[in-house]
Amino acid sequence: MKNPKLIGVTGGIGAGKSTVCKIFSTLGVPVYDADSRAKSLLHTDMELKHKIIEAFGEESYNEDGMPNRAYLAGQVFSDEGKTKRINSLVHPAVGRDFKNWVDQNNDHKYLIKEAALLFEAGSYKSLDYVIHVSVPKNERLNRVLIRDPERSKEQVLDIMDRQWGEGKKKKLADLVVYNDNKNSILQPVINLHDQLTLGKEI
């Protein structure tokens, strides 16, 4: 069994993690979207589903068995204790799912794991390298308000406040990619791909 390098891509909300990962995907690199997988696991992972109901009540799921996202969002919004509680249930499930995914894609030189809370959840420790996508807070805020008009400024700022600051993430990252209006991310990602494909260190 091969052991591909595991590369994390993270960054605050609105930083452009998905854009960076789309470039990797276009280059033929498998990308594991932890946030999307977490949403899927809420209704496909029976162990997780049972624990969510146990922690937050039967209202956590609709009659069709799908997660009641509005209810769960209302439970954890502005409640740090409940946020930590749901994360403590979801993150291990994502970890198991990611391990299975890696086993299924081990014929590549390296694999990408995209996750907003890579550092906060501690899952970066199981990866070989972490790329942090950096953008000033005000620019990220404006991007999200344009991208997600259903979200209020207060809601976006609340999400930002729950995520670690840029300085803390930069210290832990192996590489910082700037995705602001002054820098293009295309060439840095292509250069990184070339390095990793050749088995070079970041």
How far apart CA 54 and CA 111 sit, in angstroms, is: 34
How far apart CA 38 and CA 88 sit, in angstroms, is: 12
Note the pLDDT of residue 196. 93
Q: Which candidate, 55, 42, 163, places its Cα nearest to that of 93?
A: 42
How far apart CA 84 and CA 76 sit, in angstroms, is: 9
User: Taking all residues of the chain, what is their mean pLDDT, rounded to a whole number?
Assistant: 93
Average pLDDT over residues 79-102: 93
| Whole-prediction pTM | 0.90
* Cα Rg, the chain, nearest whole Å: 18
Note the pLDDT of residue 25. 97
- pLDDT one-digit tens code per residue, 91-101: 999 999 999 99
17 annotated to a ligand binding site: yes
Are 135 and 13 in contact, with CB atoms under 8 Å apart?
no
Which residue type sits at 88?
S
Give Cα 118 distance to the centre of its chain: 6
* Residues forming beta bridges with residue 129, ordered by sequence position: 7
Task: Band the pLDDT of 77: cuts 50, 70, 90.
Answer: confident
Note the pLDDT of residue 159. 87
- pLDDT one-digit tens code per residue, 124-135: 999 999 999 999
12 annotated to a ligand binding site: no
18 annotated to a ligand binding site: yes
Q: Token pair for residue 140?
A: 């990220």
Tell me the backbone φ, ψ of residue 121, rounded to 5 degrees.
-80, -15
15 annotated to a ligand binding site: yes
Flag whether pLDDT at 72 surpasses 60.
yes
Flag whether pLDDT at 1 surpasses 70.
no
Can you list the domains of the chain with their CATH numbers?
A: 1-30+105-202 (3.40.50.300), 40-98 (no CATH)
